[in-house]
Structure 1
Amino acid sequence: MPEGHSVHRIARQLDRNFVGRVITASSPQGRFAEGAALLNGREMIGVQAVGKQMFTEFEGDLWLRVHLGLYGAWDFAGEILVDPTIASANGRMGQTNQRGTVLDPAPAEDAAIYDDAGENSLNSIGAPRRARVNVRMSEQTKGLASELTEWPPPPVGAVRLRLLTDLICADLRGPTACQLQTPDEMLATVAKLGPDPLVGDTSEGEERFITAVRRRNVAIGQLLMDQAVVSGIGNVYRAELLYRAGLNPHKPGKSVPVENLRALWRDWVQLLDIGVETGQMMTMDDLDPEAYRRAMASRDDRHWVYHREGLPCRTCGTNIVMEDMVGRKLYWCPTCQA
């Protein structure tokens, strides 16, 4: 499941390419035909990510709610405008996975960084899994642009929703949720979500997070995955945040000192910013330039504990443990997080 940084990057790309434009909407797959018909011909007013969900406003008080879930992803094609707020891992302007022309391209001399799964860190948006086409906005997609041979491009696979302008096409596949909402329904959905560092006042979000954790006699490792407690954290960020905080994932939330929770929230603010900017869940600090490029090129060099079961802890040498916590894999160091 994509974590919060990916959804924020999708929202920014939609904002850059679709907001303020009248949209042609369709459902090539047919499963969202009625909803697409209601969106068709309306102007996109705005778009906002909250944790793992995205809310897009259309004229006429109509909102589109999308939750990518485990398998959802977006493809972009056409003359794509790069969002200037999204940089790459090596400091240049970000792109998205796409077919067609990318406007405002990065300098040619600043080569992209491809990791061992073929992912260009510029192009990381969508479901964190391998895709069979190289235009999927996915964290494990080869970030290579393909030439368009016709416009609009033919749908590839089961496209739930297509958003189209004269220049840009965005295809949504495999989401857990794709539904229309009234303004009140949208607000009710957002009200059920925990704080997101990139939405609203960060200090207020910090207090909401601390209050939500301290009232629960539930393991902190479980609470960080609860989207009603804090928005956007998934399996990778959960493991890395707890390691960086030196917290035992089994410690009950109400037993975690307030100062530790403040530090945890502020670290989440920092890591989310890095993830949105680079497109990668980079959690290693103070790397020299060569080590940084290695980390961008290989997930094995990017994290402290995630996906490192049986390997020695980078700090103390104890073997990293992997266990099941409420149906999800948890990685941690029994010594550093005792």
Structure 2
Amino acid sequence: MPEGHTLHRLAGELTETFGGQVVEVSSPQGRFAGSAALLDDQVLVGAEAWGKHLFVEFPEDRFVHVHLGLYGRFDVYADVPVVPDPVGQVRVRLATDSSYADLRGATACELLTRAERDVVVARSGPDPLRADADPAIAWERIRRSKAPIGGLLMDQSVLAGVGNVYRAEVLFRHRMDPYRPGNTLRIGQWRAIWDDLVVLMQEGVRTGRIDTVRPAHTPEAMDRPPRRDDHGGEVYVYRRNGMPCHVCGRAVRTAELQGRNLFWCSQCQRRYRSRALQ
């Protein structure tokens, strides 16, 4: 499933390509046909992301809400010589004379009012990529929870936009046991994690990939081969189970946590033990 930086990057592409322009809106597949007819030949105001939710705004406070889910894609093609006919199961097409964007396979695609859009946002935690985000809201939920921090970071009602890669990597960078209960964290630890996510995810928007290793651990600095993976980017633990940790050399571990694969280094991220049990 795409992480939050992908949605923010997509929102920027849609705004840059179609923002302020009259667009043709259609549903070649037919599942969005009624809503597409209401938006056709209207000005696309712009697009924004909140976590893993994308909102494409049209006049009269109408928003196309998209959640890509596991298999969705929203491909944008700008400044093409000819806009081709749709191919395959295209749920929504946005088009001008020289650009088009096709949505396929999304989990959610619906036309919302502003009030309905605000309900979706209200169910989400703060997004590290938004200037209006308040990390204190996430902290209030974390500090009251006995759930493991590795699960809380993936809970979109606690924190919006963080997926499996950023979860694993930020916990490694802060040497934190992913099974540590949220209510045992100190606020300074939480703010350090939040600030790191802001920087890492902003870089993800800029480059379109997730890179989390520090300068001392890049392939060039360590004289090691670059990572070969469909997800791209240089990482410490994500999908490196059984491979040596870049920092200590111990084999990276993996386990299932709340239905998702968790990756961590048991040496660098030592098991948390409450002082009450010591």
Decide which of 94, 102, 111 is 1:163's aligned counterpart.
94
Q: Does 1:238 align with 2:170?
A: no
Q: What residue in structure 1 maps to residue 276 of structure 2? A: none
Q: What residue in structure 2 maps to residue 197 of structure 1? A: 128
Give the counterpart letter for 1:226 in structure 2. Answer: D
SS state of the match for residue 180, structure 1? strand
Residue 200 (structure 1) shift: 3.5
Contact 1:221 1:249 in 2 (8 A): yes
**Which 5+ residue runs of structure 2 have no aligned equivalent?**
271-278
Tell me whether 262-271 or 206-215 shows the greater mean CA deviation.
206-215
Q: What residue in structure 2 maps to residue 55 of structure 1? A: 55
What are the residue-to-residue correspondences of 1:128-167 with 2, within 5 Å?
Answer: 151-167=82-98
Decide which of 182, 190, 198 is 1:269's aligned counterpart.
198
Relative distance call for 1:307 and 1:34 in structure 2 (3 A) is same
Residue 289 (structure 1) shift: 8.6
What are the residue-to-residue correspondences of 1:84-163 with 2, within 5 Å?
Answer: 100=80, 151-163=82-94
2-side partners of 1:41 and 1:167: how far apart? Answer: 15
Residue 156 (structure 1) shift: 2.1
Give the counterpart letter for 2:9 in structure 1. Answer: R
Residues 33-62 of structure 1: per-residue CA shift (max 9 Å, x gap): 111111111111121111111111101221
Relative distance call for 1:33 and 1:258 in structure 2 (3 A) is same
Q: Does 1:325 align with 2:254?
A: no
Contact 2:42 2:58 in 1 (8 A): yes
Contact 2:92 2:104 in 1 (8 A): yes
Give the counterpart letter for 2:64 in structure 1. Answer: L
SS state of the match for residue 167, structure 1? coil
Decide which of 206, 210, 231 is 1:281's aligned counterpart.
210
Relative distance call for 1:295 and 1:11 in structure 2 (3 A) is farther
Q: What RMSD, in angstroms, separates the aligned Cα atoms of the two structures?
A: 1.9
What are the residue-to-residue correspondences of 1:2-81 with 2, within 5 Å?
Answer: 2-79=2-79
Q: What residue in structure 1 maps to residue 236 of structure 2? A: 304
Residue 224 (structure 1) shift: 0.6
2-side partners of 1:295 and 1:191: how far apart? Answer: 44
| TM-score, normalization by structure 1 | 0.75
Residues 226-261 of structure 1: per-residue CA shift (max 9 Å, x gap): 011111111111100110111111111111121111
Q: What residue in structure 1 maps to residue 116 of structure 2? A: 185
Percent identity between matched residues is 45
Contact 1:5 1:276 in 2 (8 A): yes
Relative distance call for 1:288 and 1:314 in structure 2 (3 A) is closer
2-side partners of 1:53 and 1:182: how far apart? Answer: 15
Q: What residue in structure 2 maps to residue 255 of structure 1? A: 184
Contact 2:65 2:110 in 1 (8 A): yes
1-side partners of 2:257 and 2:217: how far apart? Answer: 34
SS state of the match for residue 45, structure 2? strand
Aligned length: 266
**Which 5+ residue runs of structure 1 have no aligned equivalent?**
80-99, 101-147
| TM-score, normalization by structure 2 | 0.90
Residues 128-171 of structure 1: per-residue CA shift (max 9 Å, x gap): xxxxxxxxxxxxxxxxxxxx6xx321212210000011111100
2-side partners of 1:261 and 1:76: how far apart? Answer: 36
